[in-house]
Amino acid sequence: PLSSRPPHTTTQPETNFQECHSSRRPATVMLDSEEEYENEDELHSLNSKPPIHGQKRQRFGESQLTGTQDKKVSTANRDSKDFRCLQEQREQLPIARGRESLMRSIALHDVTIILGETGSGKTTQVPQYLLEEGSYHGQIAVTQPRRVAATSLATRVSAEQGQPLGTLVGYSVRFDERVSPGTRIKYLTDGMLIREMMNDSLLTRYGIVIVDEAHERTLRTDIVLASLKQILARRNGRRDERTAKGKGKANPLKVIVMSATMDAEKFSNFFEKAPVLYVKGRQHPVSIFHTSTSQNDYLDAALRTFFQIHVDRPPGDVLVFLPGQDDIESLESSLRLYASQLPHGVSDVVICPLYASLPNAQQAKVFLPTPPSSRKCILATNIAETSITIPGVRYVIDTGKQKEKRHFARIAGSGFDTLLTTDITKSSAVQRSGRAGRDGHGYCFRLYTEDAFNSMAVSAEPEVQRSSLTSAFLQLKVIGQDLDAMPFMDRPDQESVGSALRTLWLLDAIDNSRHLTDFGRSLAMFPLEPQYAAILLASVNHSCTSEVISILALLSSSAPLFTDSSSQRDAANEARAKFRHPSGDHWAMLNVFRAYDEVRVTEGKSGYKGWCKRNFVNQRALREAGDIRTQLRGICDGMGIDCNLSCGNEEVPVLRSLLRGLLQQVAFLQPDGSYKQVMGPSVVKIHPSSFLADKRSPAIIYNELVYTTNIYARGVSAVYKSFISEFPKLTGIRVS
């Protein structure tokens, strides 16, 4: 029974907020004039629907998009109202005022740094301006740290150019690509640009490389920046030499670094005092509220705060910042539950999740106009901090948490990466609150105290100093670089360098004198961690590529294979028991995939949805794994590897292959039932979710460690100790 409030607000106290200050972002300088843009009249139809062309995803190797039908659509589009409306929007973006001085600076300098508030138009406009100049040859690359940003931006910019996605404007992200020979602007993840360097070390196909979101300082962004510095020296030569000779080299490169925060000096110094241009965004004041006490349960606090806003405050969409996909999914379901019980007269709630691995079709929903008499509630990770601007947001709820990749070089001996939920930095908190002030006076509700805010770190440590370097090390080796010798903005942590070297050596990717081996070169061909690539290559020798590719595809999928079932534990356990395999979790995963493949054939699309539900398996994980499997098979085909080698129901070949990559993730049973790492000092337990949790196996391999009350190994299979003694590099290890 609801009166004016949803049930939880009557049973639980409201979250108490204290307004701290009404903040206006520090004044920045306009490119052309110092004019300020605070005028509400300037706000145009940002909510109008961007015409998004066909959402069909293209896989590597599929024929490229140059159909005549697409061309017709595009001509029609250019005359359409939607297209004209997009052009008006483009002209009204803050950056449009600075277009000329921007182009002037870029023409004059090899490197230009652009600083600008989120939403000012940097990412979408700068590449188009350069294209429209007509004076630059080659393609324009725009790097993004996250794949969802790359695909969403390419879609938007294609529409702004009135061309189908994948023709003039395209994207390239891991496991997905839409480009054609005529593509001039390509949005790609920084990881993909590094991959391209493996075949074209000077990036000769690009006339311009734009490094976007540079402030995030991801490992791959830092590698791109360091590589570009070297490429510039080789492609452009030295400045003074060029002027002396009166002309430059044949295929010079322009580099543009774009960032949302104020630390441009560091980038400028890194590129020999490159000029810095500022773009003043359209930022309205934002009132910031902190909770008066700290909140134990940020999901619950976010839920309550959302409904307080929804019931009490004027229209305007709400953006909630959450650490990760699992929290997003869990808040989404509780929001839906309460929203369905809202009393008559309270407007509807439209929930839009937004995270890195969200399928393209669902991303588009975030940008659709909010239907009349309803309120959009966007549940996002820190992707919405600066990469993606969502129009219509008036309220921000900030949990103050994020997922951060951390590398433990020492704890586990072998070193490993894990995603931890951590407190955000001050600079993130400021960015998050800023997202409320784009379309008018905004409100930001921080689910933490003002003291907590004051004790946050100012900005994040660069990722190069806190993540695993194994894959990066290998990729750099292939392009003839040594991680140690790269001109990084910040030096990587020596312990991580050592751990990466050790892993590559154990895998036989490098030899005793740190030279890349042929095997190492093959490993780098796969868009997989070197350990997983080693498993794949080993499966060729053990004649089980078919099984191993399926398992690796599932391991690479971003969603967990089994859905959460805490409310129906018995039913879930019963369903899962069908997939059980004595060797453990890897083969059980394979059983799920095999069953799914069969059901898809026998029951068709409508049938397998129900099947997934009944069996408590995540359909999204399987769909994504299916895509990845297709990709991996394509890559294998290209390398002359037969992907149909099958070991049928014999598990040993698969376990041997897995072991080949997971050499550092082996543990032996101890008398007390726990397991001791072979390559590290830690004692681990088998995670309760594992099929082997209540078994005692003399030796196990595992995918990952998770830290909760204990160190748990997750994704576990039992192996024979005799397999381990086959690896000469582990012979120092006593096998009892």
> Which of ligand CDP, Mg ion, none has residue 6 at its interface (CB below 5 to 8 Å by kind)?
none
378 vs 70: CA distance, rounded Å: 32
Report the alpha-carbon angle 642-644-647, nearest 5: 115
CB-wise, 124 or 539, nearer to Mg ion? 124
Closest by Cα among 590, 629, 597 to 612: 597
- When asked if residue 123 is in the footprint of Mg ion (CB under 5 A), the reply is yes
Q: Exactly one of 58, 139, 144, 152 binds ligand CDP (CB under 6 A); which one?
A: 152
Q: What's the min distance (Å) between Cβ of 390 and ligand CDP?
A: 7
| Least Å from the CB of residue 106 to ligand CDP | 16
- Segment interacting with Mg ion (CB under 5 A) among 45-53, 115-123, 425-433, 713-721: 115-123
697 binds, among ligand CDP, Mg ion, none (CB under 5 to 8 A by kind): none
Q: Is 119 left (phi over 0), alpha (psi -120 to 50) or beta?
A: left
For ligand CDP, give the closer residue by CB, 93 or 111. 93
116/442 with CB nearer ligand CDP: 116
Please write down the HEC assignment for all residues of 58-117.
CCCCCCCCCCHHHHHHHHHHHCCHHHHHHHHHHHHCHHHHHHHHHHHHHHHCCEEEEEEC
Instruction: Give alpha helix (H) positions in 525-663.
Output: 530-541, 545-556, 569-577, 585-614, 619-638, 652-661
Phi, psi of 597 (to 5 degrees): -60, -40
Q: Is 237 helix (H, G, I), strand (E, B) or coil?
A: coil
What is the spatial distance between Cα 96 and Cα 103, in angstroms, rounded to a whole number? 11
Nearer to ligand CDP, 268 or 386 (CB): 386
The strand pair at 286-291 and 17-23 is best described as: antiparallel
- Any contact of residue 682 with ligand CDP (CB under 6 A)? no
Q: Which two tokens stand for residue 444?
A: 């930001």
Print the SS3 string covering 135-159: CCCCEEEEEECCHHHHHHHHHHHHH
Question: In this complex, which beta carbon is closest to ligand CDP, that of residue 438 or of residue 477?
Answer: 438
Picked from Mg ion, ligand CDP, none, the partner binding residue 575 (CB below 5 to 8 A depending on kind) is none
153 binds ligand CDP (CB under 6 A): yes
**Binding status of residue 394 toward ligand CDP by CB under 6 A:** no
C-beta nearest to Mg ion: residue: 123
| Alpha-carbon torsion angle 600, 602, 605, 606, nearest 10 | -130
Angle at Cα 168 formed by Cα 384 and Cα 42, nearest 5°?
Answer: 50
Number of residues that bind ligand CDP (CB under 6 A): 18
Shortest distance (Å) from residue 162 CB to ligand CDP: 15
Least distance to ligand CDP from the beta carbon of 156, Å? 3
Cβ proximity to Mg ion: between 9 and 283 the closer is 283
Q: State in angstroms the smallest separation of the CB of 127 from ligand CDP.
A: 9
Helix (H) or strand (E) holding 379: strand 374-380
- Note whether 143 binds Mg ion by CB under 5 A: no
Residue list 37-76, contact with ligand CDP (CB under 6 A): 46, 50
Which of the residues 319 through 378 are near ligand CDP (CB under 6 A)? Answer: 367
Rounding to the nearest 10 degrees, give the CA dihedral for residues 564, 570, 576, 578.
-170
Of the residues 287, 389, 402, 431, which one makes contact with ligand CDP according to CB under 6 A: 389
Q: What is the largest CA-CA distance in the chain?
A: 83
**Smallest distance, Å, CB 559 to ligand CDP?**
23
Piece in contact with Mg ion (CB under 5 A), picked from 118-126, 375-383, 445-453, 691-699: 118-126
- The entry of Mg ion, ligand CDP, none near residue 119 (CB within 5 to 8 angstroms by kind) is ligand CDP
Q: How far is the CB of 125 from ligand CDP (least distance, A)?
A: 6
- Find the DSSP H helices in 247-395: 264-270, 298-312, 325-339, 360-367, 383-386
Name which of 90 and 406 has its Cβ closer to Mg ion: 90
Residues 116-145, mask of contacts with ligand CDP (x by CB under 6 A):
x-xxxxxxxx--------------------
* Segment (H or E) for 228: helix 219-236
Q: Among residues 123 and 499, whose Cβ is nearest to Mg ion? A: 123
Closest distance between ligand CDP and the C-beta of residue 152, in Å?
4
Q: At what angle do helices 545-556 and 585-614 cross, to 10 degrees?
A: 60
Total number of residues binding Mg ion (CB under 5 A)?
2
Task: Please state, in angstroms and rounded to a whole number, the distance separating the CA atoms of residues 255 and 232.
Answer: 8
Residues lying near Mg ion in the complex (CB under 5 A) are found at 122-123
Residues lying near ligand CDP in the complex (CB under 6 A) are found at 46, 50, 93, 116, 118-125, 152-153, 156, 367, 389, 391
